[in-house]
Amino acid sequence: MEPDSHLLVSGPPEVRRRYIDWGMFHVEQGFLADWRNYSRALKQRNAALRRGEAELLDSLDTVVAEQGERLGAQRRRHAEALAERINSLMDDIGERFGPIELRYQDGWSSETLLASLQEHRQRDLDRGQTSSGPHRADLALLSNAQAARVRLSRGEQKALAAALLLTQAEILAQSGTRPLLLLDDLVSEFDEQHFQAVLARACASGAQLWLTGTQRPQLPPDHRVFHVEQGQVTELV
């Protein structure tokens, strides 16, 4: 968590795709291979589109669709796991701005990815790039059925981003891997009440915590403090 974490809510879809993929990488054993297979197939299709090699697209579309739907199914499962936990966590850190809903959007409009690739083939040839697939996916974040980036204030967006990151850390911990959480300048991002609530939930996750900042907040008893100045690290008692 760092000062720009709110971009997880208000930033472009690419930020939320990275967020989902980070979670999938750590909890789904085959995710990395599937992601690489899709990326390779997509690169080949885009190259064929730029060269105008329409005769290759039938075979390429089949591979892109197969790999893309597999990747999308994994992401969707992870989004559903996040959605099951997010509102409970929001309650714990003291935010009460209405229920949060997470919806994974596949990145294609037709019933299947293959149908979407075929439907938009001419447009893709004109533009030289693939317009449908997991590389165009997004995780829609809704607050009271409205887009969270529009409805929520900057402070509320930061709270939601913190909840999303903590939720993912808890899913990782549940899979048997102890997470490491880096909280950069969290004191300046939240008031004392919200800071302590986020800190308490982070500690409860079983994660190891590293906090950085220019202020020394009130911390749980089991901690060590270090001062860094001009490259020199000194432990404070």
The pTM for the full model equals 0.88
CA 118/CA 110 separation, integer angstroms: 10
Domains in the chain, please, with CATH? 7-236 (1.20.1050.90)
Ranges of beta strands (E only) in the chain are 100-105, 138-143, 146-147, 180-184, 208-212, 225-229, 232-236
What letter represents residue 184's amino acid? D
- pLDDT at position 120 is 97
Q: What is the pLDDT of residues 53-112, one digit of tens each?
A: 999 999 999 999 999 999 999 999 999 999 999 998 988 887 777 789 999 999 999 999
CA dist 189 and 133 (Å) reads: 36
In whole angstroms, what is the distance from residue 65 CA to residue 187 CA? Answer: 46
Q: Which residue has the higher pLDDT, 17 or 88?
A: 17
Cα distance between residue 171 and residue 175, in whole Å: 6
Do 110 and 117 meet the contact criterion of CB atoms below 8 Å apart? no
